[in-house]
Amino acid sequence: MTYPDAPGERRTAPEAFPAPSRHPGLRGREGANAPPRRAHAAPEPSGAAARPPTSPAAVAAPAAGGDQGTGPLVRPYTVTGGRTRPKGTGLDMISLVVAARTRIDWRMLEPEHADILRLCRRPVSVAEVSARLDLPMTVVKVLLGDLISRGDVHTRAPRPAAEPPEMNILQAVLDGIRKL
C-alpha cells in the first residue's frame, strides 16, 4: 500500500504539524532482516497533543482528489428534507437511543422515523441505527433529532470526552471482556 497523502506528510503543513515526515524511505523493505523503523516522533509543543492531525489543506485533499462518486453523497439528505445538521442534540456515533413511548401512532410517522423507532425499542447506538437502516450517520442524527425533540426517543450521550474514563467503567469493561 502506498500513502500518496499519508498523514506523516500532511503534518508538514506549517501550521498544524511542523514535524518532518515520519517514515521516509521505508517502503519496499519487505524481506529485509530487520523491520522498518519508525522515526521517533518529535516532541510536541506543550498543549498541542490534543490537536487533531488535520489542516485545511489536508481536509480538502479528498475532495480535490475527485475520486469519490458524487451521487451517494447527496442523495441521503432527501430523507431529511435537505437538512444536514441535527438540532442541538449533541449526538455522537455511540450515543445510545431508545424509544421513549410505548404507544406510537405509526400513521403520523415518516417511514424513516418509524424505522428508527422500531430499531430502538432497546437501547442502540447511533452507529447501529445507521448500519441497520443503511443511512449515513449524519442523516440518522438529523432524523433522531426530530424524534428526540418530539419526545419520542430518549438518549444518553457518551461520557464527556475531556474526562478520563471512570475507573468503575474500566473495571466493568475489563470484567466483561474476560467473561466473553
Partner 1 sequence: MESASFEQAPAGAMAPAIPAAVKILVAGGFGAGKTTLVGAVSEIPPLNTEEVMTEASLGVDDLDGVEQKTTTTVALDFGRITVNDEVVLYLFGTPGQGRFWFMWDELARGALGAVVLADTRRLDTCFPSVDFFEERGMPFVIAVNRFDGDCPYTAAEIRAALDVGGEVDVLMSDARDREAGKNVLITLVEQAIRRNGGAGAALD
Site for partner 1 in 75-94 (CB under 8 A): 76, 84-85, 92-94
Could you tell me the three cell numbers for 167? 475507573
User: Of 95, 145, 146, 147, which lies in the binding site for partner 1, with binding defined by CB under 8 A?
Assistant: 95
What separation in angstroms does the CA of 150 have from each of 11, 61, 83, 154, 160? 44, 39, 17, 10, 25
Beta bridge partners of residue 115, listed in sequence order:
none
Rule CB under 8 A: say whether 136 interacts with partner 1: yes
Nearest to 6 by CA among 29, 31, 38, 32: 38
> Grid coordinates in use for 124?
442502540
Among 26, 87, 90, 149, the residue binding partner 1 under the rule CB under 8 A is: 26
Give the residue with the Cβ less far from partner 1, 87 or 106: 106
Tell me if 4 contacts partner 1 by CB under 8 A: yes
Least CB distance from residue 141 to partner 1, whole Å? 10
Would you count residue 18 as binding partner 1 (CB under 8 A)? no
Answer for the pair 152, 98: CB distance below 8 angstroms, yes or no: no
- Per CB under 8 A, contacts with partner 1 among 103-132 are 103-104, 106, 118, 121-123, 125, 127-128, 130-132
| Residue closer to partner 1 (CB basis): 85 or 87 | 85
As a residue count, the chain comes to 180
Contact call for residue 169 and partner 1 (CB under 8 A)? yes
Residues binding partner 1: what is the number (CB under 8 A)? 92
3-state SS of 88-126? CCCCCCCCEEEECCCCCCHHHCCHHHHHHHHHCCCCEEH
Binding mask 37-76 for partner 1 (x = CB under 8 A): xxxxx--x----xx-xxx-xxxxxxxx-x--x---xxx-x
State how far the Cα of 67 lies from the Cα of 72, in Å rounded to an integer: 13
Minimum CB distance to partner 1 smaller for 17 or for 146 = 17
